[in-house]
Structure 1
Amino acid sequence: MLAPCQRPRNAAATREAILKAANERFAAESYEQVGMRDIARDVGVDPALISRYFGSKEELFGAVLNSCGDASELLSIPRAEFGRHIAEDLVYGEKNEQKLRWLFIMLRSISSSSVACEAVKCASQTNFYRPFTDWIGGEDAEVKVRLAAGLMMGLKISREMNGGFDLSPEDSRKLCGRIAVVLQGIIDA
């Protein structure tokens, strides 16, 4: 008699499926609302398996934040072209659902839980602010990073909230040019 077909075990695929489900849950709900059992049910695994791969809910949330990416793409832009490149992306770039999801995860989480807020702070420092500060270097690098990041995030959120900047081609060009000058000025100051 043949044994019933079983799904082959693949630890890496299971871990990735758990991380993806957690990403979806944390994007849709606050940190406090997300339960390990809910994520396990989404993936079709036992909740104990999540603990085996990630440990606690806090550690799973940290893994989600670390999967959000880092500053490497940003820091690969030649320094002299930084302002122009970022401005063009902010004004004309395609909508990136994944980056928006990660931004929403962070924004939703910082107001829902002190544990989540601390995790966001730690991941942001490690994955974005510290590498960006090192890349800028020099005097007042931390101040420059906070100013540039605030401008970039604010414009990104504003664009997505409104489905674009809703400007004429001429005004879009002007906006792009001004953003480029301001961002390059921050970096070069």
Structure 2
Amino acid sequence: MSATTPSMRASSKGPLLQRLPIPWKQVFIYIAAIFTFIYLVGPFSWIVISSFMTREEAMSMPPHWLPEEPTLINYQAYYNPDVINSMLEERRLTVGAVVGEVPLALRNSIVVAFSVAFLNIVIGSLSAYPFARTRFRGRTTLLVFYLLTRMVPALALILPVYLVLRRIGALNQVWGLILMYLTFTLPYTVWILKNYF
């Protein structure tokens, strides 16, 4: 009786390395993921790259994908608004005079975002808890009303919201923007938190 070794078994069955089928579905998923990544990250990377270019280089056609002479002039203008006018006269800025308003806009965005999120959680949970824990007349009607307010297109509400904000003196005010965002997001918050409780 002779013992067979693994090499003898492999040679009797054919080549050990057999050709594997190409998983086309996975290849397609990877290619789609790469294109999606480029589509989503591309604009942000272009903003960062062009921030190191002069105005002429950023606006040139065909575009330069990498700065030929990297510069920090745009960041100097951002952190020192007094320099903006002289740079605008020399046409050395990429972004323009709006750069001086960026800190204020960023601060306002942070205040509005955190205020709306906080008020949504507080008011939404206080409104949703009774819907979840108690049974009262008109409960279903109110819940359907909350849901129906989400079905109205935002464009249809622009004029009424504008008129209300103008009437109460909230135009060009941060609290007016917070109030406007709350009118659009609070019904959805109540609907979601009702299921949570």
The TM-score with structure 2 as length reference comes to: 0.24
TM-score (norm 1): 0.25
Specify which structure has the bigger relative contact order, considering alpha-carbon pairs within 8 angstroms and separated by 6 or more residues.
1
